[in-house]
Amino acid sequence: MAMNSLDQLFTHFLKDMYTAEKTILETLPKMAKKADSSELRKAFEEHEKQTKNHVKRLEQVFKLMDERVAGVPCKAIEGIVAEGKEIMNEAESADALDAGLIAAAQAVEHYEIARYGTMAAWAKELGMDEAAELLHETLEEEVETDEKLSELAEERINQEAA
Ligand code: FE
Ligand code: FE
């Protein structure tokens, strides 16, 4: 796919994130199932609901651009999810498992934050204000999720120290 201009790059990132969000949507229920802490499980379940909307918002952006909804392979998310699976398979204690799950989930959120930040800025640059708004809404939910995960991690560490 050509990536010679900002709009072509934007379309590429849109398709990349479409694949990423769909992969995340498949992965979150597995992570929820594995989580030992009920709070962590709830956080994953809550983010699964939000992620369904992230997919829908991307579909709206495709529509705004008169583009066919389609994904391209997203190597970054494949790698992050593969690493997460390794943690799920190898963490032996419940605490290590939850800490590992949080770390894996935060890597996903940070990838999303990086991409949505860029895409929202590019959409604005390209004069696509409605698309920028949609991307920004998702960006905010990713940031909130990342913060929630940090809180859970810190609470847990504090508990162990007590
Ligand atoms: Fe998302
Ligand atoms: Fe997310």
- Distance of CA 36 from the midpoint of ligand 1 (Å): 23
- Distance of CA 54 from the midpoint of ligand 1 (Å): 5
Rounded to whole angstroms, the Cα distance separating 142 from 136 reads: 10
- Distance of CA 162 from the midpoint of ligand 2 (Å): 31
pTM for the whole structure? 0.93
Q: Which residues of 13-44 are buried (b: 16+ CB within 10 A; e: fewer)?
A: bbbbbbbbbbbbeebbeebbebbebeebbebb
The domains found in the chain, sorted by start residue, are: 6-161 (1.20.1260.10)
The two tokens of residue 132 are: 């920028």
- Distance of CA 47 from the midpoint of ligand 2 (Å): 7
Per-residue pLDDT of the chain (162 residues; tens, 9 = 90+): 677 899 999 999 999 999 999 999 999 999 999 999 999 999 999 999 999 999 999 999 999 999 999 999 999 999 999 999 998 888 889 889 999 999 999 999 999 999 999 999 999 999 999 999 999 999 999 999 999 999 999 987 667 656
